[in-house]
Amino acid sequence: MLDAVGPRLRELRTRRGLKLSDVAEQTSLSVSTLSRLESGLRRPTLDLLIPLARIYRVALDDVVGAPPTGDPRIHPKPIKRHGHIYLPLTNPGAPVQAFKMVLPGRKSSDSVKLATHGGYEWVYVLSGSVSLHLNDTVTTLSPGEAAEFDTHQPHSIVSAMAKAAEILALFSPQGEQIHVHGN
């Protein structure tokens, strides 16, 4: 099991577009140590793997290739932020993060604050009506409709009505787009 750790670490680093020097800077591990870990010349220890798992945003089990526990359930704990309720549907650090969100109802006179951050987001409306603000454009989405956008653009997602709306949101911190092709 430990022999496969080095190639996994290299794959995680390269998938995120990082150089050894970038990882060394973020973890305080030397480039030499990281190189020896990736090539299998240094035995991995928890002291080395924990900061790497944190930087690569993956579970330690994924780094070492631990066998599955058999229980695929996620035990989400709701997070309340800026009046929205986020229910994480994936484990922290997943390459694509999924959330069910409850957006509080609002008045048309309420101001909308736009935000930007790295990544790419997909939204699917479960109930209610949602206003998706992208730059100066507002798109209203109804149940069953979906949208995707680059989160580097100024954006906000709010309920379009006085009653709450529910959405599913997928977020990729690396900015990867998902392409699904039908047959």
pLDDT at 183: 46
Query: Which CATH code for domain 2-64?
Result: 1.10.260.40
d(CA 19, CA 6): 15
- Taking the domains of the chain in order of start, what are their residue ranges? 2-64, 79-172
d(CA 134, CA 175): 16
d(CA 99, CA 164): 16
pLDDT at 129: 96
pLDDT at 180: 46
What are the structure tokens assigned to 142, written together?
């109804």
Neighbouring CB atoms inside 10 A of 103's CB total: 24
Give the chain's residues under pLDDT 70.
1-2, 69, 174-183
Spell out the residues 6+ positions from residue 30 whose beta carbon is closer than 8 angstroms to its own.
Answer: 24
Q: Helix/strand/coil (H, E, C) string of 94-135?
A: CCCEEEEEEECCCCCCCCCCCECCCCEEEEEEEECCEEEEEC
d(CA 165, CA 177): 25
- Assign domain 79-172 to its CATH architecture: Sandwich (2.60)
